[in-house]
Amino acid sequence: MELFVDTADTNAIAELAEMGLIDGVTTNPSLIMKSERDIFEVVREICDLVEGLPVSAEVVATEAESMVAEGVRLSKIASNVVVKVPLTWDGLKACRILSGDGTKVNVTLCFSANQALLAAKSGATYISPFVGRLDDINLDGMELIAEIVEIYDNYDFETQVLAASIRTANHVCDAAKIGAHVATVPPELIKKLVLHPLTDKGLASFLADWKKSGGEILK
Ligand code: G3P
């Protein structure tokens, strides 16, 4: 499974990119607002930081023609920009036009398998089902990931399932087990994936024994 980072925080992206941990970046209007930066400036910087990896930038128009116009502007920032459009009727129209022109499109705000079916037929490169927001209303977000993976597999759709609104370490592991192509994860959660109490306990005991041995590796 590919791991994207879900943020517009360039410091966090730079650290993760340097470690080779991420395969792409996703942003949305809320994350851009949080960065307190101009969308063109911040997306350009992100595209430079991740050198050719996919970077999703979202349109804010609600009507197809304007979504396409915004998408064209965003895609001019860099060749690795993926235009994000919402899963509405107009979003699907825009997806069809943009993908027909060779632009990669991430269809976002997906909450049902039927929506995902339509997005695939419209030529989406990625479909973004929101796991956490379904869990928030007491539905099973991961069940939606499983349904979409099954449907896309049944018919060999090329659209990649990008599990979004990922909130927990279990979400990441479950998305990988189900076969999502990508999970987009906030940087703080990516950092938490490394943690295990037995790792800390084991390291503490190794270091205590090493101290007793009086040995040195770097003299
Ligand atoms: O980028 C879309 C998605 O990942 C948002 O997540 O936590 O705001 O539901 P969240």
Comparing 132-136, 151-155, 165-169, 215-219, the range with the smallest average pLDDT is: 215-219
Q: How far is the CA of 142 from the centre of ligand 1 (A)?
A: 14
- Cα separation of 66 and 60, whole Å? 9
For residue 219, the model assigns a pLDDT of 84
- Of all protein residues, the one whose alpha carbon is nearest to atom 4 of ligand 1 is 165
Ligand 1 close to Cβ of residue 115 (< 6 A):
no
Q: Give me the mean pLDDT over the 46-65 stretch.
A: 98
- H or E segment and range at residue 160: strand 160-163
For residue 164, the model assigns a pLDDT of 98
Ligand 1 close to Cβ of residue 27 (< 6 A):
no
Beta bridge partners of 183: 3, 163
Which distant-in-sequence residues (6+ apart) come within 8 Å of 213 by Cβ? none
- Of all protein residues, the one whose alpha carbon is nearest to atom 3 of ligand 1 is 165
Residues 55 and 24 sit within 8 Å (Cβ to Cβ) = yes
> What tokens appear for 124 in the block?
């989406």
Q: Alpha helices of the chain — where are they, by DSSP H?
A: 10-18, 29-35, 39-49, 64-75, 89-100, 113-121, 131-136, 141-155, 169-178, 187-192, 197-213
- Residue 170 pLDDT level (bands cut at 50, 70, 90): very high
The closest-lying atom of ligand 1 relative to the alpha carbon of residue 133 is 9
Ligand 1 close to Cβ of residue 56 (< 6 A):
no
- Cα separation of 71 and 87, whole Å? 15
Ligand 1 close to Cβ of residue 162 (< 6 A):
no
The catalytic residue positions are: 84
